[in-house]
Structure 1
Amino acid sequence: MKGVTLKFILSASLLLNITVLCTAGYLYYKQTRSWVSPFGHRIERDRFLFEELSLQPGQMRAMREKAIPFRAEIDGRRKTIEEKREALFALLRSDHPDREAMEALIAEISRMQEEMQKRIALHILEEKALLTKDQQEKFLDLIENAMKNGRQKGCPTQ
């Protein structure tokens, strides 16, 4: 009887361990397949908003060449802002928070967010310059739609 119980417990433990490993692997895979857009929402890593447009191969290549380093830059800025927010919450959690340090962190976060917003606007202008007038209109509609709806959905209906 003890042998059967031991085998059952070991089998259940093995099954549980395999399940945990598979779940961790899946979550890691899912997380690395996406990135955070400049609007703060997760989308597929190899997907770009401008792919919704009817672009010439040269336009697509030029926009990709600008978008990939831009994403890396924005991701870095977003991580830095998140670190500052964590520092702010650490101050908020203390028994006697240093108000001057909090105000300095808030000002720094605001400055960094402003710089990031300016960089995003500049990037949009750079990408827009690569497009025809019709494509520019559709491109800006896509961006506006993504900002309003909080995610990429494709071209908005007129």
Structure 2
Amino acid sequence: MRINNLLKFALVASLVLNVTLLATASYHAYRQSALWVSPFGQEMHRNQFLFEELSLGPEQLKSLKERTVPFRAEIDRRRKQIFAKRKELINLMRSERPDSKAIVALISDISELQEQVQRRITEHMLEVKASLDKDNQQKFLDLIEKRMGGAGNSCPPDEHDR
């Protein structure tokens, strides 16, 4: 009788643990799918846009969102390509005798992809800027500058800045 009670307790404890782990994994998967990493390295909700902080009309907001959603998908796709190339680079370096030419070629590929991403981000920012009035253009660029510095991507000050 005592063994049955012990087995029942173990079964219930195991069930609770499994349900808890499943719920935690589901929550993390949901949270990850709801986030997007901005070009400035900050996590944002997928339905949150930088230009929403500007004084825009409903039609202008709608138009910008329609252009920005495909842009984000494109940037995500390119980031995945860069990540895959970086993993490939690490694998090449793990080799007993790393192939220097292959490493240099892969670094070149990564650099080219990063340049494409930077060009596309700049194009998109200029497209958004062009659709704004002068006041909002300034606010938009100020927001971008703030986000760039706020992401920890700023360089240390030069000697003459101190």
Secondary structure of 1:35's counterpart equals strand
- Off by >6 Å, runs of 4+ in structure 1: none
Give, in angstroms, the shift of residue 143 of structure 1: 0.7
Match of 2:76 in 1: 75
Residue aligned with 1:43, SS: strand
Alignment coverage as a number of residue pairs = 151
Q: What TM-score results when the alignment is normalised by the length of structure 2?
A: 0.90
State the shift of 1:111 in Å.
Answer: 1.0
The 5 Å alignment of 1:12-27 reads 12-27=13-28
2:85 matched to which residue of 1?
84
Displacement of 1:91 in angstroms is 0.5
Could you list the runs of 5+ residues in structure 2 that have no partner in the other structure?
Answer: 153-162
Please tell me the residue identity of whatever aligns with 1:62.
S
State the match for 2:106 in structure 1: 105
Distance 2:41 2:96 in 1: 32
Q: CA deviation at 1:95?
A: 1.0
Q: Distance in 2 between matches of 1:81 and 1:40?
A: 15
DSSP-derived class of the 1:63 partner:
helix
Shift of 1:20: 0.8
Runs of at least 5 residues in structure 1 that lack an aligned partner in the other structure: 152-158
How big is each residue's C-alpha offset from its partner over 1:17-66, in whole Å with a ceiling of 9 and x where there is no partner?
A: 11111111111111111111122322101000000001011211121111
What one-letter code is carried by the residue in structure 2 that aligns with 1:63?
A: L
- Structure 1 CA distance, aligned partners of 2:119 and 2:30? 32
The answer as to 2:123 corresponding to 1:127 is no
- For 1:6, the aligned partner's letter is L
For residues 102 and 114 of structure 1, the distance between their equivalents in structure 2, rounded to whole angstroms, comes to: 18
> Displacement, 1:87?
0.2
Q: What's the Cα RMSD here?
A: 1.1
User: In the aligned structure 2, how far is the partner of 1:104 from the partner of 1:84?
Assistant: 11
Q: Structure 1, residues 65-113: CA drift from partner, whole Å, max 9, x if none?
A: 1101100110011000000000000011111111100000001101111
**SS of residue matched to 2:111:** helix
Higher relative contact order, chain-length normalized (CA < 8 Å, sep 6+): 1
| Equivalent-residue separation in structure 2 for 1:56 and 1:148 (angstroms) | 28
Q: Does 1:6 align with 2:7?
A: yes
1:41 and 1:88 map into 2 onto residues whose CA distance is: 25
